[in-house]
Amino acid sequence: ATVGAVRERAPGERRVALVPEAVTLLRRAGLDVLIEAGAGSGAWFTDADYTAVGASVVSPDELYAHADAVLCVGPPDEETATALRSGQTLIGLLEPMRHPALVRDLTERGIRTVSLDLLPRTLSRAQSMDALTSQANVAGYKAALLAADSYDRFLPMLTTAAGTMRPAQVLVLGAGVAGLQAIATARRLGAVVTAYDVRPESRGEVESLGARFLDTARPPDGGSGAGQGGYARELTDEEQRAQREALDTHIARSDIVITTAQVPGRKPPLLVTAAVIARMMPGSVVVDLAASDLGGNVEGTEPDKTEVLDNGVTLIGAGRLPSAMATAASTAYARNLVAVLRHLVRDGEIVLDPADEITAALMGANPWKGGEPS
Ligand code: NAD
């Protein structure tokens, strides 16, 4: 079979679905590989890098004409979606929960979709295919660096001839994949890190990274905020109020706050209000990884927008952080894609077997991603 990686068309998107090392692996698995001209340039891979490992660099028309499976990172734009033809398979982070119409229209036109974001997260044999994890890892790392870059003091405790500088106090809210990587990165930079998550089982992971786990803000009555599939559930209004009250003192005292809390299929929970930001010290930095058009974890953040408030607090609404580290993000994503394709390929052909648990999930047999179907 032939697979073809398209150039991403979303504004500001620099990632690419396949990097040269992935081409080598796919060819070894018996696949022919096409790359749209210029597809890798945002991640610093040239067309020549791809031809050197046996891919054919082609125009979009040639790609759509010959590829059995079209590989992408984010959901396709309208032009790409229109160019796909019946019998083709589209593989990528298609966000079917956010754009249900896209997948529905493609399916009606006889195009099969494989959405990496529908992968069951807790199946250990699917871990190598987990693109949400690989991309969240990049986002968490970059969020810590962005915070450090905007913070006008040192993160580590430094003892110099001029005396001792105290280490920065970093608070990470939401200790999933991105949060844990933000914790690890802030720790490597020498900060003192505290973290919090509604899922009580995240305590061990937080502590193993050398951070302190805040449990004062657990849902009342010692209840758990864990939902299904390893994800959090949405807290009730009452629980959210209690949580914010318990967190406020810690937020106000922190030099850097990084928020990463998400509940699948829901608006991100509001954890940091304008009232508590007003209590933070001038020079403090807040990075909201959950910033989205639906709102984020921090009141007043917008994706891709940095604002210095009148009280000297910098609010950073994260945009596409994985794209901001396009080479690492693409390399990891391409490894996930190779694992998915190896799972699907039998005797050189792509076989979508609905009886296979992983394949069925990727095809949307179970479009449930924690919480309730929405
Ligand atoms: P996510 O992006 O959906 O959410 C990020 C974090 O926010 C989660 O840890 C969640 O518990 C937390 N959160 C939600 N509401 C909150 C609130 N009100 N206050 C504080 N925190 C809140 O999560 P994710 O990073 O995609 O990870 C989801 C789950 O999948 C985790 O349990 C993770 O460990 C698990 N996971 C497992 C594997 C594996 O075993 N192969 C791989 C990746 C992820």
306 pLDDT exceeds 90? yes
CA of 98 relative to ligand 1 center, distance in Å: 18
166: DSSP letter = P
Closest CA to ligand 1's atom 9? 176
Q: Which of 116, 121, 135 to mutate for ligand 1's pocket (most ligand atoms within 8 Å of CB)?
A: 121
Give ipTM to 2 decimals.
Answer: 0.94
Alpha-carbon distance of 16 to 74, in angstroms, equals 9
15-58 confidence digits (pLDDT tens): 999 999 999 999 999 999 999 999 999 999 999 999 999 999 99
CA of 320 to the centre of ligand 1 (A): 18
For 233-244, what is each residue's pLDDT tens digit?
A: 888 888 888 888
Please state the φ and ψ torsions of residue 328, each to the nearest 5 degrees.
-65, -45
Q: Closest ligand 1 atom, CA of 126?
A: 41
State CA 113 to chain mean position distance: 20
Q: With a 6 A CB cut-off, is 173 part of the ligand 1 pocket?
A: yes
Q: What is the per-residue pLDDT across 278-290, written as a single tens digit (0 to 9) for each?
A: 999 999 999 999 9
Q: Identify the burial level of 59 via C-beta atoms within 10 angstroms of its C-beta, where 0-12 means exposed, 13-18 middle and 19 or more buried.
A: exposed
What is the model's pTM?
A: 0.94
Ligand 1 site-directed mutation target among 183, 197, 234, most atoms within 8 Å of CB: 197
